[in-house]
């Protein structure tokens, strides 16, 4: 009788162990091993494919392929994809539960009116999907086919019988292949299901979307192990209490990974935000201390964002340092520089930093804006509301050169700001265009003088 072989697979990284272990030796996660039955491989002496002749092709003989793209008509979405959908591509859309992945997929399906879309859902009933589409103001939809099913073999059978132009699988964690012993959502099921969908995308030349949930740790559960298999990994993110949603490409074989798409969740679905600066600045209060406008580059686009700081005396014990949308360690560093170079004593003050609108920024060019907001709040002097500040702060208190200065200046000009404070060394790369004053600063002390007067 054949021996039943089992193995233990880490659900976090896919590491295989012959026996159960508490801590994964590969990714150091605890309690992630799950028992799975392993398919015994048939022993074969001969490597497969022997006998058939395969030949390599000289590179110069390979014809260049022009990738035609399907436009989704959602400009923000197309941009992140690199200019539209590519035939035969497998795209993973990851994100926290409830962030709006299914909504985005349905909106895309509704936009692609001349394509037959097969929407496979393992999470919702056909009724629920229909209800969502109605919420999205869908009328006379003739191109979307719905299927509530999780058995991938049955789904493939449906696909074989019909001719969909695009397939959406929502979500990959609910799909399973009956031949495998392990439960849906386990690493081997997710991996196997993806491999099958990959083959489908490539052989039929149609785009296939797979939706994947993110775990608490911020990695795509299960789907993390398929990131290398898919062509594109999109991440949909946002803060729970804000309606803004940001779509990023973490990997893209058909485009840049720098682009982001910005959406706002409304009652009737996601709406594109095409002028993010205006939106992010719309709630600004003039004349209050602790608020500075910075020009940050997100992808290839400049976005003006308000950075706020609140510095208040500590009431008990340890002074607090708290940030939303900004790196806490970077804040400590900026506070140390301000203490040493500007003489700002924050040792007995709580410091809170907030990037307005629920955006996350991790580029050093916002340093100057944060430092200005902190100084402004501590001294209770408002920052000049017609100015934008950009610049990286070095440990010596120097203002360091930043990239893409032209774009930042342009955006500030476009939104009617009168002045932009930039690193001294960046001055040579900008030619003033329009009536914005460009001021160069080389030291953080100097910048505070310019901005807080």
The site partner of 400 among ligand TYD, Mg ion, none (C-beta below 5 to 8 Å per kind) is: none
The yes or no reply on residue 387 touching Mg ion (CB under 5 A) is no
CA distance 119 to 129: 9
CA distance 405 to 410: 9
The yes or no reply on residue 169 touching ligand TYD (CB under 6 A) is no
Residue span binding Mg ion (CB under 5 A) among the ranges 96-104, 320-328, 420-428, 439-447: 96-104
Helices (H), 355-416: 367-379, 405-414
Number of chain positions touching Mg ion (CB under 5 A): 1
The yes or no reply on residue 212 touching ligand TYD (CB under 6 A) is no
Q: Which of 70, 86, 90, 99 binds ligand TYD (CB under 6 A)?
A: 99
The yes or no reply on residue 290 touching ligand TYD (CB under 6 A) is no
- CA 115 to each of CA 48, 142, 451: distance values in angstroms, whole numbers, following the listed order: 39, 10, 54
Residue span binding Mg ion (CB under 5 A) among the ranges 3-11, 99-107, 227-235, 398-406: 99-107
The site partner of 95 among Mg ion, ligand TYD, none (C-beta below 5 to 8 Å per kind) is: ligand TYD
Nearest to 383 by CA among 321, 448, 339, 314: 448
The yes or no reply on residue 97 touching ligand TYD (CB under 6 A) is yes
DSSP annotation of 373: H
DSSP annotation of 113: T
The yes or no reply on residue 100 touching ligand TYD (CB under 6 A) is yes
256 close to 81: Cβ distance less than 8 angstroms: no
272 close to 75: Cβ distance less than 8 angstroms: yes
Minimum separation from the CB atom of position 101 to Mg ion (A): 5
Minimum separation from the CB atom of position 171 to Mg ion (A): 7
Residue 174 or 292 having the CB closest to Mg ion:
174
Q: Which of 13, 229, 265, 450 binds ligand TYD (CB under 6 A)?
A: 265
Q: What is the per-residue binding string for ligand TYD in 114-133, x denoting contact by CB under 6 A? A: ------------------x-
Beta bridge partners of 118: 145, 167
The yes or no reply on residue 377 touching Mg ion (CB under 5 A) is no
Q: Which of 32, 72, 102, 186 binds Mg ion (CB under 5 A)?
A: 102
Pairing verdict, β 244-252 and 232-237: antiparallel
Nearest 10 degrees: Cα torsion 364, 365, 367, 368 = 160
* The dihedral sign for the CA sequence 188, 189, 190, 196: positive
Angle at 97 between CA 91 and CA 100, to 5 degrees: 65
Residue 102 or 308 having the CB closest to Mg ion:
102
Residue span binding ligand TYD (CB under 6 A) among the ranges 75-83, 220-228, 267-275, 425-433: 267-275
**DSSP-derived 3-state class of residue 252:** strand
Residue 123 or 442 having the CB closest to ligand TYD:
123
Phi, psi angle pair for 91, to nearest 5°:
-120, 130
Q: Which of 69, 79, 101, 248 binds ligand TYD (CB under 6 A)?
A: 101
The site partner of 345 among Mg ion, ligand TYD, none (C-beta below 5 to 8 Å per kind) is: none
Minimum separation from the CB atom of position 34 to ligand TYD (A): 24
DSSP annotation of 169: E
DSSP annotation of 191: H
Residue 95 or 440 having the CB closest to ligand TYD:
95
**Tokens representing 40?**
């015994």
Q: How far is CA 184 from the centre of its chain?
A: 26
Residues lying near ligand TYD in the complex (CB under 6 A): 95, 97-103, 132, 135-136, 265, 267-269
Residues lying near Mg ion in the complex (CB under 5 A): 102
């Amino acid at each position: 009788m054949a021996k039943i072989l089992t193995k233990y697979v880490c659900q976090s990284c896919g590491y295989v162990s012959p026996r159960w272990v508490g801590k994964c030796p590969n990714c150091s996660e605890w309690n992630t091993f799950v028992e799975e039955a392993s398919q015994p491989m048939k022993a074969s002496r001969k490597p497969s494919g022997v006998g058939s002749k395969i030949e390599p092709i000289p590179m110069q003989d390979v014809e260049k392929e022009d990738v035609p793209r399907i436009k989704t008509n959602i400009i923000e979405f197309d941009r992140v994809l690199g200019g539209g959908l590519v035939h035969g591509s497998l795209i993973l859309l990851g994100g926290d539960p409830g962030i709006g992945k299914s909504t985005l997929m349905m909106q895309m399906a509704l936009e692609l009116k001349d394509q037959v879309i097969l929407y496979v859902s393992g999470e919702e009933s056909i009724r629920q999907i229909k209800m969502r589409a109605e919420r999205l103001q869908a009328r006379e939809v003739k191109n979307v086919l719905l299927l509530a099913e999780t058995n991938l073999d049955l789904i493939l059978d449906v696909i074989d019988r019909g001719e969909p132009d695009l397939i959406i699988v929502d979500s990959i964690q609910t799909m399973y292949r009956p031949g495998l012993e392990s439960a849906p959502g386990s690493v081997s099921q997710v991996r196997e299901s993806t491999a099958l969908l990959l083959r489908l995308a490539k052989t039929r030349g149609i785009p296939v979307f797979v939706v994947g949930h993110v775990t608490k740790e911020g990695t795509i559960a299960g789907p993390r192990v398929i990131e290398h298999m898919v062509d594109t990994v999109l991440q949909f993110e946002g803060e729970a209490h804000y309606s803004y949603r940001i779509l990023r490409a973490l990997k893209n074989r058909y485009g840049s990974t720098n682009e982001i798409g910005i959406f706002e969740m409304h009652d009737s679905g996601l709406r594109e935000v095409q002028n993010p600066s205006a939106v992010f600045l719309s709630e600004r209060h003039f004349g209050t201390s602790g608020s500075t406008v910075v020009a940050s580059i997100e992808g290839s686009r400049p976005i003006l964002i308000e950075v706020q700081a609140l510095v208040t005396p500590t009431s008990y014990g340890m002074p607090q340092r708290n940030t939303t949308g900004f790196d806490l360690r970077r804040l400590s560093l900026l506070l140390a520089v301000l203490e040493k170079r500007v003489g700002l004593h924050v040792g007995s003050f709580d410091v809170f930093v907030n990037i307005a609108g629920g955006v996350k920024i991790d580029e050093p060019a916002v340093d100057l804006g944060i430092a200005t907001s902190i100084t402004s709040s501590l001294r209770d002097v408002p920052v000049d509301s017609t100015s934008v500040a950009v610049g990286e702060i070095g440990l010596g208190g120097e203002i360091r050169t930043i990239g893409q200065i032209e774009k930042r200046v342009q955006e500030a000009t476009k939104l009617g700001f009168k002045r932009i404070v930039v690193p001294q060394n960046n001055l040579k790369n900008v030619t003033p265009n329009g009536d914005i004053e460009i001021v160069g600063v080389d030291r953080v002390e100097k910048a505070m003088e310019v901005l807080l007067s």
